[in-house]
Amino acid sequence: MNYKINELFETIQGEGSFTGQPSIFIRLQGCPVGCSWCDTKHTWDISVDDQVTPASMLTKTEETSHWANFSPKDILALVNEKKFNAKHIVITGGEPCMVDLTPLCQLFEQQGYSTQIETSGTYEIITTDKCWVTVSPKINMRGGYKILSTAMARANEIKHPVATDQHIDELKALLAEHKVKDTAIYLQPISQKKRATDLAIATCIANNWRLSVQVHKYIGIE
């Protein structure tokens, strides 16, 4: 099986439960959800005109919609070739759950890595039992996709972007609908604006939830 890879790099995880964890990010191409505040819109479309060689994809110096096909073994070989030190894999996008992620996660877990998926919750999550699943539910987005009960049930953590009280109300309605229990709930201010941050802090305290502040953006790393 091949995966359409837009980026592969080593950095520090800046969000959710693994904040501060050295991580290898595998960014997949393709997402029809259509979030207005998305900061990776270059990963939305899958065009054959944007397909490049693996070598070309790896030499990109700016964000582009260019992608290349990699098998799980190709990705593992690349990670070994680059001598990355991180032992935590983060599969993101785009919307990574558009494809079966089991072969990719299974291979890395067999090599002693931990794996994590960041998904919108609008696609079935097909992965290993050990994989940590972060659902960042994208509610009423342009693409018209619904949040799946199976995705909410599989989530190890729920990380919800917020800017207004409406976003809080939408999350509470979603949690009530899907009867989520014993799952870490994170609020993540959109665009690091003070109003959104203040709202997130107050709501986290009121509900005993957690705050995710996108540390990587504050310290200026990818």
Q: Each residue of 32-88: pLDDT tens digit?
A: 999 887 889 999 999 999 999 999 998 988 999 999 999 999 999 999 999 999 999
Domain locations in the chain as residue ranges: 3-160
Residues 95-115 have a mean pLDDT of 98
pLDDT tens, residue by residue, 106-128: 999 999 999 999 999 999 999 99
Lowest mean pLDDT among 50-54, 145-149, 154-158, 180-184: 180-184
CB 14 within 8 A of CB 159: no
What letter would DSSP give residue 212?
A: -
Tokens read off for 158? 């729920």
Annotated binding site for S-adenosyl-L-methionine: 37-39, 94, 136-138
Q: Residues annotated in the binding site, as ranges? A: 12-14, 27, 31, 35, 37-40, 92, 94, 136-138
Global model pTM greater than 0.85? yes
Homologous superfamily assigned to 3-160: Aldolase class I (3.20.20.70)
Residue range 203-219, pLDDT digits in tens = 999 999 999 987 776 76
Strands across the sheet with 22-28, in order?
Answer: 68-70, 3-12, 22-28, 88-92, 114-119, 132-135, 157-162, 184-189, 210-211
pLDDT of 190 higher than 90: no
The binding site for [4Fe-4S] cluster consists of 31, 35, 38
